[in-house]
Amino acid sequence: MEENMLKTSWKQRLIIALVAAVLLGSSLAVYVMIVLGNGNSASSSSSTDLSEIEAEYNKINEQYEARAAEVSKTYFDEFKSYKSNVKAFNAESVNSEGVTHTDLKEGSGETITSSSSNYAAYYIGFCANEEVFDSSFDDYENPTSLNAPLNIEPDYLIEGWYLGVDGMKIGGVREVAISGSLAYGDSYEICGGYSSPLKFIIMAVEKDSELAELNSKLEEVSNRYMEAYYSSLSTDEIGSDEEVIEADAEDIDFEE
């Protein structure tokens, strides 16, 4: 899904490749692999090791995406119906009210608190002018499925998200309005500026155990890839590649 949607500027860039995801673990790891794979050449044996790890990652990622597509079938039609709730809103009013919410559907599952990690979420995030800056749909304008739901953890998203879902029940759908100071504040430019108020339509769903397990495997394989890669480099090469990664991370588009 930050005092900001992630708490640091680095994490912000991870999520929204997220806000995907989000798909926080899988999307970022693929990106890192591409960047690192185009860096300086390692030894022949190291290159083989890296290729094997990347192949392992791709195999798990295929399973992850296939499971995400299966889960999508359960929620897609219903969540698509809430696109009609995406409407322009008064930015000054939202900024003055902090965080407010409207329940579009009452859930029947476990109650969510601001510190809960017992749920996942599909979401649409939009600006005062009705522009959608991120969503769980594969293509917002012409959606055919949902991406993997965002697995929620404490201290992972913007503060306003947690305040907005407090008291919601799993299975419910809520529209949450968040002032700019409780969204990205001055740390991230979104919706045409800094400290922009946002709205989210959030569907809270049960975490899928298979997706969670596959995502953990993706993170573990990604970490092994990075460790293997850096172990093959000299000190000078490590410094050079870190600069490349940092520079390329600055170019990650939050809306993708």
| Residue keyed to tokens 């109650």 | 111
- DSSP secondary structure letters along the chain: ---SSSSSHHHHHHHHTTTTTTIIIIIHHHHHHHHHHTSS---HHHHHHHHHHHHHHHHHHHHHHHHHHHHHHHHHHHHHGGGGG-----HHHHHHH-EEEEEEE---SPBP-TT--S-EEEEEEE-TTS-EEEESBSSSSS--SB-PPEEP-TTSS-HHHHHHHTT-BTT-EEEEEE-GGGTTTTTS-BTTBSS--EEEEEEEEPPPHHHHHHHHHHHHHHHHHHHHHHHTS-HHHHHHHHHHHHHHHTT--TT-
Cα 115 to Cα 108: distance, rounded to the nearest angstrom: 19
User: Residue 18 and residue 253: Cα distance in Å, rounded?
Assistant: 10
How many whole angstroms separate alpha carbon 225 and alpha carbon 169? 39
One-letter amino acid for residue 23 of the chain = L
Residue-wise pLDDT tens digits, 234-253 = 555 556 555 555 554 444 34
pLDDT at 155: 87
Reported as a pLDDT band with limits 50, 70 and 90, residue 231 is confident
Decide if pLDDT at 149 tops 80.
yes
Which of 30-34, 152-156, 244-248 has the highest mean predicted lDDT (pLDDT)?
A: 152-156
Domain borders along the chain are 9-71+210-249, 78-208
Output the pLDDT for position 243.
57
Q: 52-109 pLDDT, tens per residue?
A: 999 999 999 999 999 999 999 999 999 999 999 999 999 999 999 999 999 999 999 9
Best CA proximity match to 59, nearest among 207, 208, 217: 217
Query: Topology of 78-208 in CATH?
Result: Chitinase A; domain 3 (3.10.50)
Q: What is the pLDDT of residues 109-133, one digit of tens each?
A: 999 998 898 899 999 999 999 999 9
